[in-house]
Amino acid sequence: MDEIKRRIINVFDKMFPKAFCELNYRNHFELLVAVILSAQTTDKAVNKVTKNLFQKFSTPEEFACASVEAIENEIKHLGLYKNKAKNIKKMSQMLIKQYYSKIPDTMDLLIKLPGVGRKTANVMLSEAFSKSAFAVDTHVERVSKRLQIAEETDSLIIVERKLNAYFPEELWSKLHHQMIFFGRYHCLARNPKCNICDLKNVCKYYIENKI
């Protein structure tokens, strides 16, 4: 393992040794709904919504039987709530019809569910099924590009592939959470905390802006 890679891992371990999924859920299905809702929305906002949402609807059967309007009413404070409501209802119907209400545990099957892309599928694989996966959200993407693991023009799938190639597979799930925490609380999109960052010397953002 090269020096820079080891340094990145060590800094993440030091800063966020117990990084975790901040979405609130009680089972795999609730996690899937919460992750779908989290697109372009903060986990904090999702948790506020799901506190009441999951009291009304908490199973595929309950969501499948609910009207889209009823689901919309519960999640209307989130971005893209109309599309999310439609997808969650369709996803619930598909789970019942094709998977006996069980969440599939492979990438190929997960991404066939309405509203589920690679990021959501990777979160499910890692968080629900304890499989090695590197979900790339906006924080992971930003941190990867600033630390020069990926190029600025790389798509999300290319960023994911480069992360998978760069870090040992057994660390993917832990690093995924650590990179989210690093991006959410330290390496912010605006006004990142470069002055107290132990990785600034390998950070493209810091080097180019000479903060």
Express each pLDDT in 112-171 by its tens digit.
999 999 999 999 999 999 999 999 999 999 999 999 999 999 999 999 999 999 999 999
Give residue 141's pLDDT: 98
| Catalytic (active site) residue 119 | yes
End-to-end CA distance of the chain: 29
Q: Taking residues 90-112, report their average pLDDT.
A: 97
> Is pLDDT above 70 for 211?
no
> 43, 97, 105, 119: which one is catalytic?
119
Q: Tokens 């799901």 — which residue?
A: 50
Q: Between 209 and 171, where is the model more confident? A: 171
Domains and CATH numbers, the chain: 3-19+134-209 (1.10.1670.10), 28-128 (1.10.340.30)
Q: Taking residues 21-32, report their average pLDDT.
A: 97
Give CA angle at 160 (154, 162), nearest 5°: 75
pLDDT in tens, 82-98: 999 999 999 999 999 99
At residue 2, what are phi and psi to the nearest 5 degrees? Answer: -75, 165
Alpha-carbon radius of gyration of the chain: 18
SS3 124: helix
CA distance 104 to 115: 14
Q: Taking residues 162-183, report their average pLDDT.
A: 97
Q: How many CB atoms lie within 10 A of CB 87?
A: 21
Cα dihedral sign for 61, 65, 70, 71? positive
Q: Using a pLDDT cut of 90, give the percent of the chain over it.
A: 97
Q: Using a pLDDT cut of 70, give the percent of the chain over it.
A: 99
Q: How many CB atoms lie within 10 A of CB 137?
A: 21
Report the candidate in 34, 67, 62, 69 with the shortest Cα–Cα distance to residue 48: 34
Cα distances (Å, whole numbers) of residue 27 to 10, 127, 130: 32, 11, 14
| Catalytic (active site) residue 198 | no
Q: What pLDDT band is residue 209 in, cutting at 50, 70 and 90?
A: confident
Tell me the average pLDDT of the chain: 96
> 18, 76, 131, 137: which one is catalytic?
137
